[in-house]
Amino acid sequence: MAAVQGTGSLPSGQPREAPREAIPERGNAFRRLSARLCALRPDDSSSARTEIHLLFDQLISENYSEGSGVAPEDVSALLVQACRLVPLNQNHLVSKVSQLIHHLLNRLQVIVDEQHLDFLLAYTISAIHQCSSWTHMEILQALAALVYCNGSKCQKIYLPELLGKTGLLMKLSDLAQSDPEVRRAAVHCMANLCLSVPGQPYVEEPYQNICFQAFLTILPSPESSDMDDITFCMLLQNALKGIQSLLNGGRMKLTQTDELGALLAVLKKFMFHGLPGLNIEMPTTRACALQVLSAILEGSKQFLSVAEDTSDHRRAFTPFSVMIASSIRELHRCLLLALVAESSSQTLTQIIKCLANLVSNAPYNRLKLNLLTKVWNQIKPYIRHKDVNVRVSSLTLLGAIVSTHAPLPEVQLLLQQPCSSGLGNSNLATPHLSPPDWWKKAPAGPSLEEMSVSSPKGSSEPCWLIRLCISIVVLPKEDSCSGSDAGSAAGSAYEPSPMRLEALQVLALVARGYFSMTQAYLMELGEVICKCMGEADPSIQLHGAKLRVGSPVMSWAAAFPLPLFQVVMFWTMMLNGPLPRALQNSEHPTLQASACDALSSILPEAFSSLPNDRQILCITVLLGLNDSKNRLVKAATSRALGVYVLFPCLRQDVIFVADTANAILMSLEDKSLNVRAKAAWSLGNLTDTLIVNMETPDPSFQEEFSGLLLLKMLRSAIEASKDKDKVKSNAVRALGNLLHFLQPSHIEKPTFAEIIEESIQALISTVLTEAAMKVRWNACYAMGNVFKNPALPLGTAPWTSQAYSALTSVVTSCKNFKVRIRSAAALSVPGKREQYGSVEQYARIWNALVTALQKSEDTIDFLEFKYCASLRTQICQALIHLLSLASASDLPCIKEILELNGNMVQSYILQFLKSGAEGDDTGAPHSPQETDQMVRMALKHMGSIQAPAGDTARRAIMGFLEEILAICFDSSGSQGALPGLTNQ
């Protein structure tokens, strides 16, 4: 029997394994048959063909359903040997070996490795070319199994042959293909080629586009007369799955509007495929169409954000924004129609998931009202559906509604709907919520009697969604659920775990987006958290800890103030309940980390009002957990300490601040980038506390804080400034604060001289580096902080010129305007002329600022234009500040630059005077009166300078300033003499 000729082959001479001794029970039959097959050699005799037939039949008939423990490489090796034994002129054997490939790879869930794939692909492609057409169906099935998740491994050699203009799959999938089963199998091969494993390469873009166009051509084509309904539906499903793979795993982007429109049109058609009024019931095809639509909607927020139809459209043309808004409304309409018409639980779940994706990405703040109301009212009955997956996805959709663009007035009204509104009684699977005393129906048990979530006092109507979610989490089921309630422990009295977990997530989303609705339930939610964290299920414990109502309390406290005693009661309940146990549960580090996050969300006012022993408990636990070996716990602890060090009741406690500093410095050396990033953030907060303490009248903190610890902090911050950007941005922030905090007693010590120089060099290096915007912004901000310390030798130290050179370089040339603004702000910090150094140094700074003003609109990035006005404001402020400190020696340089650029500078200063410093990036807006006063102070200073006889520079500069004030005064419409100006 002749050997098979193909374009790929395995290295020759590899010895086959001999039959193994003491074979385990599992896989025994496979290995025995494999050994027999490997012992055969190519043979032309009829007896050899018969034996191969029998061996193939035995391998196909074996039961592999329970898992045989067979290694994937053994399966691949067996298939290669099988193909070697079958020449391509033996059609029946080729058909049988194709069945074997398809059967083994599917039943054993094997993805063929690259080494064996090369040979097997060459064999199957050659078989299609050479064998009779009646074998093509089986060969294509084998090919589909071989290329499953292997598309990226095929592209070097085989994709051109399969997907080129005259490619094999392109011809066999064409509408002209006479055999419908072959056509379907070819499309199945293409769909499998597009599938990729997450994290692995996927098919290159040209081949993605070829497959996408093929699928898009197949979907709208009518069912041919020679194709039965089942085959046609399978063809559609394969095309839809192929598109889903391209959009999900392949990350394909639909850049052409006509492509997107065509795809949406066919998806709209197949969402209703098989419903009453088409021929057959085919929920699987509808589910596939919905999965593709979900893949399109996922991550579409930026594209859909242009939609707008809040006002009536009365123009001669339809804007693109209105067209997108119309598409969004049509998607809502179709999906809600499909929801009403669908009877299959599996497809219902897909419809609801698709709606959740749509809700998460649509810009409802730019659309007319009632879209969300329709979704809300139509989904409520499904919360009680008999199928748990439908119930879970319904809660997911409600969570998407309360989280999208929160808070929305429309959703606020929906949350206030009567509890019974829209909740049907069919297929009931969750507790009834209509009676006002619903919670009293719960059987007596620990804390349930106390956990009354009835209407809050003073509230006309409670929030039905909060009550629903609490009931799902804590109350027993009233009715038995269907057999599809996966995730519910045997004999469990509660809802299945997925339902309870989703309910907890919805509660967290409501608390975050609509705290005004949640605040009345603060104590009840505290009980829910305590109950969940006390359960045995780790997932319930974790989601209970993540509910963290304290975090929304912090962010919403200003808008919806709660009585302090109520917040204190909440945290007392937490700290007397299971929270401390969760914090010390080293066997569940994820829960520990979440408990740390919960502890960090306490309000400073509430913390200071807690009993002293509870305060000590929080601090002691956090400092102890900082030694954890788990990186999640260590990161959460570092962050929590960074929050606590800002508390007014703790920040002047030298011992606590010092203990926190040592803990943070230890975390800053951790191997985990996430831990180091959190530690750097906390170090920045701690150094903010040092600056706040400087500003208090009592100097005891500065005197008691350890100089050695300051040295350690400086060294650690210098090292961290060389780390990744996530760490570096806060490390330079800390360096600026530390250098600002240093007292004369520190600076005078020789041990500090070298570290101060290193710290400033680290800042200079970071200002100039091509790092992320946040890093450079923080470095410029830190440099401004350094300039605020009068004890540092700014102006005389060697690093002065380097620092100013770095800032002037940034202010004139940095691509990011926010960084330029911050560097200009730093240049205007020094309060004395001598701090700017020599006349030459002063002139370089003045010249750089004028150049920066001139280039304040030079950018190729459209996004930077919105910062142009703020940049000019800050530069004008810096120029006026420099004028108010100038010495007689500086005047000739100023005059020379004004002679060249005076008109430009004057026009921008006039804008600055008229508009004030609103919207600048320094956090210090000024009124027009204040900016006017700045110019007057500069003019007054110029008048006080003792210039040598015959000097014209002073007079020219004063005339420049007087003219600015005169123009500004005239434009205000005032009459009479300009106050404060005299001829000098």
10 Å Cβ neighbour count for 43? 13
**576-624 pLDDT per residue, tens:** 988 899 999 899 999 999 999 989 988 899 899 999 999 999 999 999 9
Specify the pLDDT at position 16. Answer: 37
Structure tokens at 964: 């600015």
Specify the pLDDT at position 836. Answer: 95
Which amino acid does the sequence have at 462? P
Kindly report the backbone phi and psi dihedral angles of residue 563, in degrees, each rounded to the nearest multiple of 5, phi listed first: -60, 135
Regarding whether 784 and 801 lie in a shared domain, the answer is: no
10 Å Cβ neighbour count for 6? 19
Kindly report the backbone phi and psi dihedral angles of residue 578, in degrees, each rounded to the nearest multiple of 5, phi listed first: -85, 0
**481-517 pLDDT per residue, tens:** 444 554 555 456 788 999 999 999 999 899 888 887 8
Cα–Cα separations (whole angstroms), residue 25 to 20, 28, 64, 70, 612: 12, 5, 13, 11, 65
Regarding whether 900 and 785 lie in a shared domain, the answer is: no
Residues forming beta bridges with residue 197, ordered by sequence position = none
- Sign of dihedral through CA atoms 681, 683, 689, 692? negative
| DSSP helix/strand/coil, 276 | strand
C-alpha to C-alpha distance for 121 and 193, rounded to whole angstroms: 12
In this prediction, residue 564 has a pLDDT band, given cuts at 50, 70 and 90, of: confident
Regarding whether 849 and 724 lie in a shared domain, the answer is: no
C-alpha to C-alpha distance for 675 and 724, rounded to whole angstroms: 12
Lowest mean pLDDT among 549-553, 584-588, 724-728: 549-553
Here the CATH number for the domain that contains residue 688 is 1.25.10.10
Number of domains present in the structure of the chain? 3
Q: First CA to last CA across the chain, in angstroms?
A: 115
In this prediction, residue 272 has a pLDDT band, given cuts at 50, 70 and 90, of: low
Regarding whether 851 and 965 lie in a shared domain, the answer is: yes
C-alpha to C-alpha distance for 967 and 204, rounded to whole angstroms: 64
- CA-wise closest residue to 725 among 680, 784, 661: 680
In this prediction, residue 771 has a pLDDT band, given cuts at 50, 70 and 90, of: confident
Q: What is the mean pLDDT of residues 829-858?
A: 93
**Rg value, the chain, Cα:** 37
CA angle 210, 213, 219 (to 5 degrees): 140
10 Å Cβ neighbour count for 669? 12
C-alpha to C-alpha distance for 475 and 524, rounded to whole angstroms: 13
Task: Give the ranges where 44-157 is alpha helix by DSSP (H).
Answer: 46-61, 72-84, 91-107, 114-130, 136-147, 151-154
Asked whether the beta carbons of 503 and 472 are under 8 A apart, the reply is yes
Within a domain: 830: yes
Specify the pLDDT at position 1. Answer: 38
Asked whether the beta carbons of 664 and 645 are under 8 A apart, the reply is no
Q: What is the mean pLDDT of residues 851-856?
A: 90
Within a domain: 266: yes
| DSSP helix/strand/coil, 770 | coil
In this prediction, residue 642 has a pLDDT band, given cuts at 50, 70 and 90, of: very high
Regarding whether 963 and 836 lie in a shared domain, the answer is: yes
Specify the pLDDT at position 427. Answer: 40
Q: Which residues of 448-474 are buried (b: 16+ CB within 10 A; e: fewer)?
A: beebebebbeeeeebbbbbbbbbbbbb
Q: What is the mean pLDDT of residues 876-900?
A: 92
Residues 6+ apart with CB under 8 A from 900: none
What secondary structure letter does DSSP report for 697?
S
Q: Which residues of 324-342 are buried (b: 16+ CB within 10 A; e: fewer)?
A: bbeebbebbebbbbbbeeb
Tokens 């009518």 identify what position? Answer: 222
* Residue 298 belongs to domain spanning: 256-311+318-410
Specify the pLDDT at position 314. Answer: 64
C-alpha to C-alpha distance for 865 and 851, rounded to whole angstroms: 18
Specify the pLDDT at position 524. Answer: 87
Cα–Cα separations (whole angstroms), residue 350 to 241, 291, 332, 419, 795: 14, 7, 14, 27, 69
**678-719 pLDDT per residue, tens:** 999 999 999 999 999 998 888 889 889 999 999 999 999 999
Average pLDDT, the chain: 82
Cα–Cα separations (whole angstroms), residue 984 to 883, 945, 948: 18, 12, 15
Within a domain: 775: yes
- CA-wise closest residue to 242 among 289, 194, 198, 173: 194
Q: What is the mean pLDDT of residues 462-468?
A: 88
Regarding whether 733 and 857 lie in a shared domain, the answer is: no
Does residue 398 register a pLDDT over 70? yes
- CA-wise closest residue to 186 among 229, 124, 114, 108: 124
Within a domain: 347: yes
Kindly report the backbone phi and psi dihedral angles of residue 278, in degrees, each rounded to the nearest multiple of 5, phi listed first: -90, -175
Which amino acid does the sequence have at 402? V
**138-185 pLDDT per residue, tens:** 999 999 999 988 888 886 778 888 888 888 998 998 888 888 889 999
Residues 6+ apart with CB under 8 A from 353: 290, 294, 393, 396, 397
Regarding whether 688 and 804 lie in a shared domain, the answer is: no
**54-84 pLDDT per residue, tens:** 888 888 888 775 456 788 888 999 999 999 9
C-alpha to C-alpha distance for 460 and 102, rounded to whole angstroms: 65
Regarding whether 755 and 899 lie in a shared domain, the answer is: no
What secondary structure letter does DSSP report for 278?
B
The most confident of the ranges 195-199, 278-282, 437-441, 603-607 is: 603-607
- Sign of dihedral through CA atoms 273, 276, 384, 376? positive
Asked whether the beta carbons of 941 and 929 are under 8 A apart, the reply is no
C-alpha to C-alpha distance for 965 and 981, rounded to whole angstroms: 9
Asked whether the beta carbons of 219 and 270 are under 8 A apart, the reply is yes
Does residue 772 register a pLDDT over 80? yes
What secondary structure letter does DSSP report for 18?
P
Q: Which of 747, 775, 792 is the last residue of a domain?
A: 792
C-alpha to C-alpha distance for 806 and 810, rounded to whole angstroms: 6
Task: Give the ranges where 345-496 is alpha helix by DSSP (H).
Answer: 345-361, 371-379, 388-403, 409-415, 464-474
Does residue 454 register a pLDDT over 60? no
Q: Which of 357, 392, 410 is the last residue of a domain?
A: 410
CA angle 105, 109, 115 (to 5 degrees): 60
Specify the pLDDT at position 125. Answer: 92
Distance of CA 848 to the CA centre of its chain: 39
Within a domain: 840: yes
Residues 6+ apart with CB under 8 A from 624: none
C-alpha to C-alpha distance for 444 and 441, rounded to whole angstroms: 9
Q: What is the mean pLDDT of residues 348-369?
A: 91
CA atoms within 13 A on the CB side of 923: 3
Asked whether the beta carbons of 635 and 674 are under 8 A apart, the reply is yes
In this prediction, residue 197 has a pLDDT band, given cuts at 50, 70 and 90, of: confident
10 Å Cβ neighbour count for 708? 8
Regarding whether 387 and 338 lie in a shared domain, the answer is: yes
Distance of CA 542 to the CA centre of its chain: 21
Q: Which of 410, 440, 468 is the last residue of a domain?
A: 410
In this prediction, residue 439 has a pLDDT band, given cuts at 50, 70 and 90, of: very low
In this prediction, residue 425 has a pLDDT band, given cuts at 50, 70 and 90, of: very low
Asked whether the beta carbons of 819 and 778 are under 8 A apart, the reply is no
Within a domain: 843: yes
Lowest mean pLDDT among 32-46, 147-161, 452-466, 615-629: 452-466
Question: Would you report the helix, strand and coil content of the chain in percent, each value rounded to 5?
Answer: 65, 0, 35
Within a domain: 783: yes
Regarding whether 778 and 855 lie in a shared domain, the answer is: no
Here the CATH number for the domain that contains residue 299 is 1.25.10
Distance of CA 593 to the CA centre of its chain: 19
What percentage of the chain has pLDDT greater than the value 70?
83
- CA-wise closest residue to 822 among 932, 938, 733: 733
Asked whether the beta carbons of 558 and 516 are under 8 A apart, the reply is no
CA atoms within 13 A on the CB side of 11: 3
Within a domain: 697: yes
Regarding whether 814 and 877 lie in a shared domain, the answer is: yes
Q: What is the mean pLDDT of residues 954-983?
A: 67
Regarding whether 954 and 817 lie in a shared domain, the answer is: yes
